[in-house]
Structure 1
Amino acid sequence: MRQARHPRPEEMTLIAMMGALSDPIRVGLVRVLADGRERGWGELRAPVAKSTLSHHLRVLRDAGLTRTRQEGTRCFVELRRDDLTVRFPGLLEAVLEAAHGDDVGAHVGVADDTDHA
């Protein structure tokens, strides 16, 4: 399988960022990934079909918000915090603060041990 393309920081645009952050599911994914941990796609929980979740992850990647890494048949995703901070200083923190305050994306999370019981 071919590697996903990730825009370089200088290729990231404000319009692409704002478009990617215009959906509550995607904001929720950013909130989850804001802890700095790389997550397997299978760990992510959202009230949408797997194909729709995959679409949301692709939108975030294409805008430059996330980096996707494939290992065998598994995909992992992480927030590109450093690149975002360099390209758009303060944007990520403002989005996360507003999302938390307005409870946007709170219905998105990660699998916990009870999901495997």
Structure 2
Amino acid sequence: MYPSRNHITLSSLFYALSHPTRIMLLLQLIENDEVPYNFLRYTGSKPNLSHHLKILKQTGLTYTRKEGVKRYIILRRNLIDDQFPGLLQIILNNKDNIH
């Protein structure tokens, strides 16, 4: 379901980060680590949100925790920081340059 540490590649992360919506979602997670699905700031449709979250999950950036009927999107910060040091900080430092 989630890629292991050995299957997270820089090219897959670049693919996930190639869309401004996914970067915007990732920024929310960088700032909060865990965000309830229904609290994500997103103005598009639910199917589009699900699509973007699926890509973030498939590339290893996030995982989903279920608690009853609620879903929480969680940044895999430790894994990303260990494998790609500084990547999340670069994204955070450049948040004003997202188009």
TM-score (norm 2): 0.90
Query: May I ask how many residue pairs the two structures share in their alignment?
Result: 99
CA RMSD, Structure 1 to Structure 2 (Å)? 1.4
Contact in 1 for aligned 2:30/2:88 (Cα 8 Å): no
1:87 aligned partner? 83
1:48 and 2:44 correspond: yes
2:53 to 33, 54, 57: 57
Flag structure 2 segments of 5+ consecutive residues without an equivalent: none
Q: Does 1:39 align with 2:41?
A: no
Q: Which consecutive unaligned segments of at least 5 residues does structure 1 have?
A: 106-117
Within 5 Å, give how 1:8-27 maps onto structure 2.
8-27=4-23
Mapped partners of 1:27, 1:62: distance in 2: 15
Residue identity over aligned pairs, in percent, reads: 36
| Structure 1: 4+ residue segments shifted above 4 A | none
* Larger RCO, structures 1/2 (Cα 8 Å, 6+ apart): 1
The residue matched to 2:32 in structure 1 has which SS? coil
TM-score normalised over the length of structure 1:
0.78
Taking the aligned partners of 1:58 and 1:72, their CA distance within structure 2 comes to 20
